Homo-oligomer: A and B are copies of this chain.
Amino acid sequence: MQSSLILQNLVSAPVLFFFLGVLAVLVGSDLEIPSPLPKLFSLYLLLAIGFKGGLELAHSGLGSQVLLTIGAAVLMSLLVPISSFLILRTRMDGYNAAAIAASYGSISAVTFITAQSFLNVLHLDFNGFMVAALALMESPAIVVGVLLAKLAGQSGDSLKGAKAGGLRWREVLQEAFLNGSVFLLIGSLVIGYLVTSFSPAGLEKMDPFTEKLFYGALCFFLLDMGIVAAQRLRDLRRAGPFLIGFAVLAPLLHAGVGLGISRLLGLSQGDSLLFMVLCASASYIAVPAAMRMTVPQANPSLYISSALGVTFPFNVVVGIPLYMALIQRFVPLS
C-alpha cells in the first residue's frame, strides 16, 4: 500500500517538476526562472489558495469542529517552536535556535497544496477550513520565535544582541501579521468568504483563474522550488549533521503529534493528512522574511536551508505518502 502511495505521489506532475528543478542544478544546467517570476507564482498561489479557502469556509460555516481544529492548529504553532527551540538549543546559539524553531512552528503553503493535489488523485475529500488553519499558523510561530530569541539574548550568549536593546513589539507584530505573504493569504481568504456569502455570481468568473490554472502554476513554481532547494544543499553541508537530522526527524515527530490530535478531533482522512502536513512542514516564505528583520543575529542560511533544502523536499516526496499510509492504518474512512 505504502509503496504504491509513494509511487502515486512520485509520478504526479508537480513532484516531477520539482525533481526536474533539482536535476537541473545537479547536472549543472543553466535553467533558471528569473526574478521576479517566482514571486508571480508565489503571489498567485497564495491568492488562489486563500480565495478557495474562504469560499469553502463560507460553505462549511464556523461550527464547533471548525473552531476546535483551527484552535488546535494555532496551539501547535505555539508549542512546536518551543519544543524545537529546546532541542536545537542543545547544539547551537539561542538566536539561530529561535529562528529555526519559528520556521518549524509555521507552515509551508506549497507542501499543503501538494498534499491537496495528492488527496485529489486519491479521490479523498477535505474541508476548506483547513486553509484557515494554515493562514492562522504563520503569525503565532513568528511571535514565539522572536520571544525565544529575546530570551536567549538576555541569557547572555548574544552575538551582537547588546545593540538590539528592548523588544520592538510594533515591528515584531508587523512582521508577524502584516508580512506580505500572510497579509495576502488572509486577505484573499476574507475576500473569498465575502464573495461566496454576498455575491456568489462572481465565483464562477474567478474559477478559471483560481481553480483551473492552479495545478499548472503549481508545477511551474515547484520547478523553481526544486532549483532553489538544490542550490541550498551546498549550504547544508556547512550546517552539519545535527541540523540535517533535525530537519528530517522534526517533521516526523510533528506529523505524529498531528496524527494524534487528528484522531482526538475525529477528523476525516483527508483533513488528517492536511493537519499532519501543517504540523510537519516548515516555513520558508513568511518566516525567513520576518526573522531577517526581527532576529538579524541569526544566520539566514541555516533556517532557509533546513526548511527549504531538507524538510520541504522530504515532506513533498516521502512525507506526504508516508503520513497517508499512517492515516490509512489509524484513521477510519469516515
Contact = CB atoms under 8 A, between A and B. Distances in A.
Contacts of A117: 205
Contact of A121 (B12, B16, B199, B217): B199
What's the number of copies of this chain in the assembled complex? 3
A51 B223 CA distance: 14
A194 interface: yes
B205 A215 contact: yes
Given A24-B183, A37-B40, A47 B215 contact: no
Interface string A195-212: 100110110011011101
In which size bucket is the chain A interface?
A: 35 or more
Contacts of A187: 20, 23-24
Nearest to A41: B40
Contacts of A17: 191
B12 A199 contact: yes
A195 B43 CA distance: 27
A23 B178 CA distance: 10
Interface stretch (A25-33, A75-83, A91-99): A25-33
Interface pairs A-B: 5 shortest CB-CB: A209-B216, A31-B180, A208-B212, A205-B215, A29-B178
